[in-house]
Amino acid sequence: MSVKVAIMGATGAVGAELLSLLAERNFPIGSLRLLASKRSAGSSLAFRGESIKVEELTHNSFEGMDLVLASAGGSISAEFAPSAVKAGAVVVENTSKFRMTEGVPLVVPEINAHRIKDHRGIIANPNCSTIIMALPVFPLHQAFGVKRVHACTYQAASGAGARAMDELKLETAAVLEGRDFQPTVIPFPYAFNVFPHNAPWLPDLGYNEEELKMVKETAKIFETESVKVHATCVRVPVLRAHSEAINVEFEREVSVAEAMDVLRSAPGVQILEDPSANRWPMPLDASGKDPVLVGRMRKDKSQANTLDFWVVGDQIRKGAALNAVQIAELLFA
């Protein structure tokens, strides 16, 4: 099959990763249209040895397209995704805009690929932190029954896009050189600092939006309300790849050996650890890699039937672009 593809938000960090993955995975592209804001239109991006000009995104950009990979921001998707669907394309949407919309599948292919066929023109990519948590937790839930998940995230600048990554580099250099720096992307001092995720605060619930995404999206992906999720989301001054400390309570006693045996064969998951060297997954290990890395699993001695472990995943790759391309591969298989 030859697929006519458009990338909406082609000049961003996820857009660049989409281009790389489409080439790397030999996706069957018949034609490729790169779409971005008026400011970026006219620039060119390389793909499979060719230089492709970036076009301004308009409501007429989708004529003749089969697939739109969208990563241009929620308000942009809200405005333009319906036009893509009207033109006959399927939109794999990477923002939070349609994730909880009734009738829009929210898909992690390793978990609920069967939901892809339920689409009505739009398929949603989950939040990056949700994906990174869900990949190891779901096979454990299938094997042993999970009652509750408590996740603390350590989220990289990549989650806020290419401009945030660039700003972290510039701010770090400024701090080291003793210069003043005024951030414009992240609202707080970021270099050598950590802070609760800068997503909007929801005072009536006591969560910020990033934390609530993990709660709601997990229930939709797992197709059950029985797995209770609590999250604390934190920004850390890391360029790329999110880390998470995950505490899981099961319906029965589960040994570390049993859980690790399940994860060794779980799709999209890789064990990485060397306890004798006190070596566990780090963001640098996951950056540019497909699997979510797992290590440091141990018994929670404070509570029965509970294990604690550490995971790291590339937010731009599996947390965004790779998940979208995997959906597209199944959609046009």
Among the listed residues 59, 114, 128, 197, the single catalytic one is 128
Catalytic residue at 114?
no
67: left (phi over 0), alpha (psi -120 to 50) or beta: beta
Q: Among 330, 26, 22, 128, which residue's Cα sits nearest to residue 34?
A: 22
Q: Would you say 232 and 211 are in contact if contact means Cβ atoms under 8 Å apart?
A: yes
Q: Would you say 312 and 282 are in contact if contact means Cβ atoms under 8 Å apart?
A: yes
Report the relative pairing of strands 122-124 and 228-235 from DSSP bridges. Answer: unpaired
**Whose structure tokens read 């699997």?**
291
Q: Would you say 83 and 59 are in contact if contact means Cβ atoms under 8 Å apart?
A: yes
Catalytic residue at 242?
yes
Among the listed residues 119, 141, 197, 242, the single catalytic one is 242
Residues recognised as catalytic: 128, 242
